[in-house]
Amino acid sequence: MTDGPRNLSCPRLRSCVWRTAWWASLGFFLLAALAGENPVRYLRFDEVEETLRLNADSGLPGSEIKGSEAWDVWIRARDTEVRGRIDQGVEDSISNLILYGTSFTSLARVESVEFAATESGELRPATVARIHALALALAVSAKNERVRFVRDFLERKGIARKSIEAYFKENLGRFAAEQAAYQKKLQDAAQDRDPSAVYLARGTLFETRGLSVDTSLLPNFALEETLGAMLRKSALTAGSMRRIAVIGPGLDFTDKRDGYDFYPLQTLQPFAVLEAVARLQLGKAEDLEVVCLDVNPAVIAHIQKLAEGGRAGQPYTLQLPRDPRAEWSPEAISYWKGFGEILGSPRTPLPVPVSLGGVAIRAVAIRAPFAAHMQVYNANIVAETLDFPSGQGFDLMVATNVLVYYNRHEQALAMANIARMLNPGGIFLANNVLPAEHASELRYLGRRTTTFTPSGAYGDDVVVYRRR
Ligand SMILES: C[S@@+](CC[C@H](N)C(=O)[O-])C[C@H]1O[C@@H](n2cnc3c(N)ncnc32)[C@H](O)[C@@H]1O
């Protein structure tokens, strides 16, 4: 009898095996990067054939495709179309900055997008004044990261100086009208006799919207709560995770809910998911590997820069604001208070502008090695996949507030892709209802609601899938 299996169950040896595998896979990606190889490629017809068959009657674009030649043409065109929505998402972020930003003007914030325009769609004077303030700031505010971002964007789009305010107005008008249409769609669904109508409407709510980069802390609380519940039910085992993919990590530019812009741009989810897995002892923080997939060049550049900083020994500081008026539940507050306790240490937060009086804030500096190990790829999850050496797939993949930007067919394609990249037994978590017509390799385990407020008015529904 050999003592191999017994040895493998010894935690120290297992950790050593993990570590070796971790270095091996990191080595693979570093070597690939050095050799100029990109592991990202388009999904092949044989990898989505089942999904196409399941969606053949949907009438959605691409679902009628029956052969690999047509598929190869279609998926490339679709990828271009998806990426064509990135700029509109940036325009939406600029609209949020105009409405809520405090870094470029002392004018009062607009209460919410509903107050930006009249019912007939005319921008209100307070909105127009803020547009003017941002246009003025563009000429002078060299230090303001967001203003610089807007300036670079306008330059790239070829917007002449004299046309900037008109351009902002047009975008804001469109943005306000779209937000009103989303509200209406949800209200209509709430009137439906079928209680699932609201979930279904929410699931594809932004399918034609620009791809926004907004991000905030609380979806990560919902992910951690869900993983914790799975662990308690023995649906997950301690130490079972090593490689994590964060699809669409996002960038906190001017989050649409709170609209803060008084701290540097930051990304939260890669660290939040890493910490959740470590806190629940699903993996050891130092052994875990986080790979981010995104399509937005600003998100990709930000993560590359923070990883470079980490490799140069620089910690990555996150600012964590919390508006007490939002009435977070005690559990959500305790998540906020504990955020970063494993990966970093507390820092003195940036001062909250007087105009945001009452907003609580903490800051945490993520230790350099955790930043250093972040990887990011420019990959469109509905069209592109990553090739790994055998056995180096993901144990956990998350996509919150990402697939809601796609139709049912595209969501099903993303699911086929996710199933392909997961290790057997690996878990996929998202926070919107996804199509039932998806790759059979993914098994639906259920949905769990995490409320962020005691009233339950605000929260996330996390759906859970396991790769067979
Ligand atoms: C609204 S943000 C969500 C950020 C974060 N996941 C959260 O919940 O706070 C959407 C993110 O997904 C990215 N994204 C959108 N479509 C994508 C796609 N097809 N493939 C990869 N990333 C995508 C966006 O660029 C952005 O970073």
Q: Choose among 240, 223, 342, 246: nearest CA to 283.
A: 240
Work out which ligand 1 atom sits closest to the CA atom of 299: 27
Within-domain flag for 164: yes
Claim to verify: residue 136 and residue 179 sit in the same structural domain? yes
Of 13-27, 77-91, 397-411, least confident by mean pLDDT is 13-27
Rounded to the nearest angstrom, the distance between the alpha carbon of 118 and the centre of ligand 1 is 31
Neighbours of 433 (CB within 10 A): 20
Index of the ligand 1 atom closest to the CA of residue 414: 19
pLDDT tens digits for range 213-224:
999 999 999 999
Same domain, residue pair 383 and 245: yes
The atom of ligand 1 lying closest to the CA of 399 is 6
Mean pLDDT of 440-444: 97
Is residue 96 within 6 Å of ligand 1 at its C-beta? no
Domain contains 38: no
Three-class SS state of 361: strand
Do residue 132 and residue 276 come from a single domain?
no
Q: Which residue has the higher pLDDT, 389 or 246?
A: 246
Which of residues 83, 107, 137 is at a domain's end?
83
Residue 142's pLDDT is: 78
Token pair of 316 as six digits: 């990555």
220 lines ligand 1 (CB under 6 A): no
Is residue 453 very low, low, confident or very high in pLDDT (cuts 50, 70, 90)? very high
* 197 and 243 part of one domain: no
Q: Does position 115 have pLDDT exceeding 70, yes or no? A: yes
Question: Which residue, by CA, sits nearest to atom 2 of ligand 1?
Answer: 213
- Does 172 contact ligand 1 (Cβ within 6 A)? no
Site to substitute for ligand 1 among 294, 410, 432, most atoms within 8 A of C-beta: 294
Supply the pLDDT for residue 31.
Answer: 52
218 lines ligand 1 (CB under 6 A): no
The answer to the question of residue 265 being in a domain is yes
Give me the half-sphere count of Cα atoms (radius 13 Å) on the Cβ side of residue 431: 23
Whether 99 and 158 share a structural domain = yes
CATH number for the domain spanning 297: value is: 3.40.50.150
If asked whether residues 66 and 148 sit together in one domain, one would say: no
Structure tokens belonging to residue 380: 């469109």
Give the pLDDT band of residue 357 (cuts 50, 70, 90): confident
Count the helix, strand and coil residues of the chain and give each as a percent rounded to the nearest 5. 45, 15, 35
Whether 347 and 455 map to the same domain: the answer is yes
Which pLDDT score is estimated for 377?
A: 97
Residue 2 has pLDDT above 80, yes or no: no
- Kindly state if the Cβ of 95 falls inside 6 Å of ligand 1: no
From the CB of 400, is ligand 1 less than 6 Å away?
Answer: yes
Mean pLDDT to the nearest integer, 414-437: 96
Pair (111, 153) in one structural domain: yes
Domain co-membership, 244 together with 334: yes
Check if 432 has its Cβ closer than 6 Å to any atom of ligand 1: no
The verdict on residue 40 lying in a domain is no
The average pLDDT across 80-89 equals 98
**Residue 389: pLDDT band by 50, 70, 90 thresholds?**
confident
Q: State how far the Cα of 454 lies from the Cα of 19, in Å rounded to an integer.
A: 42
Tell me: pLDDT of 288 over 80.
yes
Model confidence band, residue 249 (pLDDT cutoffs 50, 70, 90): very high
Same domain, 69 and 131: no
- Mutation choice for ligand 1 from 85, 91, 211, 460, CB with most ligand atoms inside 8 A: 211
Which of the four pLDDT bands, split at 50, 70 and 90, describes residue 193? Answer: confident
Average pLDDT on 225-240 reads: 97
| Residue of 385, 402, 403 with the most ligand 1 atoms within 8 Å of its CB, for mutation | 402
- Please report whether residue 209 resides in a domain: no
Instruction: Tell me: do 60 and 95 sit in the same domain.
Output: no
CA of residue 267 to ligand 1 center, whole Å = 11
Which of 275, 301, 280, 305 lies closest to 290, judged by CA? 275
What domain range includes position 242?
218-467
Ligand 1 within 6 A of CB of 381? yes
Closest atom of ligand 1 to 216 CA is 9
Question: Is 271 a domain residue?
Answer: yes
Specify the pLDDT at position 14: 44
| Region 69-94 average pLDDT | 98
| Contact call for residues 445 and 425 (beta carbons, < 8 A) | no
Question: How many Å lie between the centroid of ligand 1 and the Cα of residue 385?
Answer: 16
Judge residue 143's burial from the number of C-beta atoms within 10 Å of its C-beta, 0-12 exposed, 13-18 middle, 19 or more buried.
exposed
**Statement: residue 24 has pLDDT above 60:** no
Binning pLDDT at 50, 70 and 90, where does residue 230 land?
A: very high
Give me ligand 1 centre to Cα 376, in Å. 13
Q: Return the biggest CA–CA distance within the chain.
A: 82
Domain termination site, one of 172, 203, 234: 203
pLDDT band at 8 (very low <50, low <70, confident <90, very high): very low
Residue 453 lies in a domain: yes
* DSSP per residue, 169-223: HHHHHHHHHHHHHHHHHHHHHHHSSSTTHHHHHHHTTTTTS-------SHHHHHH
pTM for this prediction: 0.92
Residue 367 lies in a domain: yes
Number of domains in the chain: 3
The answer on 343 and 453 residing in a single domain is yes
Q: State pLDDT tens for residues 195-207.
A: 889 888 999 999 9
**Span 305-326, average pLDDT:** 96
State which of 203, 230, 256 marks the end of a domain: 203
Ligand 1 pocket member 214 (CB < 6 A): yes
